[in-house]
Structure 1
């Protein structure tokens, strides 16, 4: 654990985002994605920043590794693929549904005990198959079901009431809030409700990057190390087949990465280097290329990141442009050694 005093909560304001990616077509900028980026060095200091990294923002599902650390500290005995699923925003594949059922079975509970919202699978192909088969929305299919199942399991183990585990005043959520503040190093600015129904905590992008770095550098045997190890070893259980966040972890040895709705991405290396990205308009197409550019600024070999440069813009079936990070995110913009 970290004993440093907590910084004040970040300011709640309209973030001062700046351009972070351009959409080009035929050499002309056709569109611009605004956002903010922070890159931390091995010592935890800010090596690069763009935009507003100190305003309060919602990490969305990028906070799930922090929630998982809190649950492991409180006694959650999961490891491996089930722990990865517990911090997942999964695609709704059968392996994800089966994993959530396994966690519920361990708790002696059933799908109806979950308090997340019923939904169709997140992955378009899986969702289309689901609809063709006439299957209705399901709590297990909703992308946060692994997290909810793990929360129920932990409540059962600790004797906490399971019926309102998603209430911000519940013992489980108080434990999670305390861990969010400890790992981000700052007080929570605001609490609201995430899409799945659990509490969502507003922190700064800088604090989110700091939390990612602390998890990625956790000493062997600590809850942080268990969470990082599970995510690194089983990235598809936290996402799904073909998902960009899993591909990024496969491409960069030792990388811990997690995405979140509304254009949030974290990525951290075992030596403490970390990146956090927020795309202002929530665009997925800008999230990964900007995060990859941040990793290059952190010193990751750009050759490992060539597959994450951004989707092409096509004309007549041919590539004529694409999504590209702004010039300020070129590694040459960072003058100090990694």
Structure 2
């Protein structure tokens, strides 16, 4: 394995590795501390103590934005939003007045990592949970953050919050999510950052084989696991939302567009039109991040004008399959003030 020393998919100096044959391998070494209800981790769940730092451009952070919305954690867990473009050093708070996060008082997310781990050697990634009193990062393990929102923050869930990680379905959710991660969520990056034709072909074939598998699975059921929205749906959705605007062209995932896969396109529209999903998607930030930050893939820095986004709001017909999006719960209310995606950045 060779450390290529280039930036990873979110533009950070986090080891990107090319294995023999030029295959892309994501560095998955994250800070694995957890914020738990009983505090046994050393980080107890407390309203107002932590700040979730995200970027709307990032699919991994987008998961956390969606789960926080669905569960109604806005009052208990504040959110800082980084801009879509940055250098190789850190995500930055350039959307805020003075380019400083108003709660943490820092201009760069890296400052929170350094506050806890001086000389932090790995990538400065989002989402990240930051302890407000100390100013130090707690965790950037995107896989665990959303699960813990569902299982550890229950005291602060809104009335009517859905069960996104129901205990009886966890094994199946984990299995589906693992397949989706390997071949789709991470698979698009394996295509885009492949260092050889062989590695690209392998990733491309795995990606579209899994999308075909999903097309078949979702032809007869509205959601990926059970008859309600779960963590598995959240994890797939953020990749689907970026597929045609970015991955299809920028990462050479071009067997077909999402809009040309009838079942997945209807499924994606169904979720997009569900409160808590589409209202978190900032298509402009998404395109700015990938096309302006990945200068190795887009050296001209030209930002595409398309694609046409109006199709996201067309009828999807998935109600005919049954299912109840929120189970016995209810939809979340509208986004809180300061967290609304500008109309010009969305499909609305």
TM-score normalised by structure 1 residue count: 0.30
TM-score normalised by structure 2 residue count: 0.30
Q: Comparing both chains, which one has the higher relative contact order based on Cα–Cα distances under 8 Å and sequence gaps of 6 or more?
A: 1
